[in-house]
Structure 1
Amino acid sequence: MEKARARASRANGFTLVELMVVLAIMALAATAVVLTIPGEERTVRSEADRLAARLAAARDVAVIEGRSVSVNFAPSGYGFERRIGGEWQPLPGRSFEQRNWPSDVRFAAGNGQGAARILFDRVGTSPTPQAIVLSGGDAREVVRVSATGEVSRGE
């Protein structure tokens, strides 16, 4: 009879080792989730990379098409235009659609202005060199366009 009671009490619960194994697995899963969540620094860095790539592509379009291309920056986002027949028109293509800044990224032009415009002429140079500063939390990234049209990222 005592053996039957001992078996019954064992079958009704978990051992301490089993509980510790489950807690260890849950801790590993929680760590994996936390590490995959993008932080402010990663968001700012990826947005700066995206901006630099799009600026370089806009410069290349100006050279290929042989016409001026502009990038207009505002606190809400940025967009691309090209000059056709004396008028500025939106630059076609999915890569050049108007883009809003992510909610945790703040924009400032290098000259301290809340808005900026970068022009690329038909040979790819920029008569309006600029430094665009993106920030969020403690993260800060700078995207520069030189007078020669070179696009770079970093301090």
Structure 2
Amino acid sequence: MTRISKLSRKQSKACSNGFTLVEMLVVLAIMSLAAVLFIGGVNQSGTIARMEVTELERSITSARQSAIRSGETRRLELVPNGFKLRGALAGEDNLLFYADGSSNGGKIYRDEQLVAQVRWIDGRLMR
């Protein structure tokens, strides 16, 4: 009986020297789950940012077309979602579209990245 007990001590000592396959699989599963959650969050924020830029582009095009159709100046405010206008003529903080299709122009940034540019000469959107 003492002999059996000696063998089990040797076996338990050998098993405690490293990780079991089950432990390794559990760790890999947890790391995989964390990676999927992190990558999913990053992609979702990127998709939202692209959707907001697309919406801004639609608003710019719509404001320009409205100014041409109505024959009146249209103002587009870039307040939401952190968009900033730089380089506009006359130091305007908003985009202005005139009846002839021109605008005050400028470059539109979001988080210090250029997302669009509006030409002053014809009010067209450049990506």
Shorter-normalised TM range: 0.5 to 0.7
Q: What TM-score do you get using the length of structure 1 for normalisation?
A: 0.52
Pair 1:106–1:149, CA change in 2 (3 A) = closer
User: Which structure carries more helix by proportion?
Assistant: 2
Structure 2 unaligned blocks of 5 or more = 9-18
Structure 1 unaligned blocks of 5 or more = 7-14, 78-99
Which contiguous aligned blocks of 4+ residues in structure 1 show a shift greater than 6 angstroms? none
Q: Does 1:110 align with 2:87?
A: yes
Q: What TM-score do you get using the length of structure 2 for normalisation?
A: 0.61
Q: Give the number of the structure with larger relative contact order, counting CA–CA contacts within 8 Å between residues 6 or more apart.
A: 1
CA distances 1:73-124 after superposition (whole Å, capped 9, x unpaired): 4xxx1xxxxxxxxxxxxxxxxxxxxxx22xxx4635235x98612222345x
Q: How large is the RMSD of aligned CA atoms in angstroms?
A: 3.7
From 20, 27, 42, the counterpart of 2:24: 20
Give me the whole-angstrom Cα distance separating, in 2, the residues matched to 1:51 and 1:42. Answer: 15
Give me the whole-angstrom Cα distance separating, in 1, the residues matched to 2:47 and 2:29. Answer: 29
CA distances 1:23-70 after superposition (whole Å, capped 9, x unpaired): 11111111111112238x938952444322321222233345554321
Which residue matches 1:141?
Answer: 114
User: Which structure carries more strand by proportion?
Assistant: 1
Identity of matched residues, %: 19
What SS is found at the alignment partner of 1:143? strand
From 35, 39, 61, the counterpart of 1:35: 39
Count of residues paired in the alignment: 109
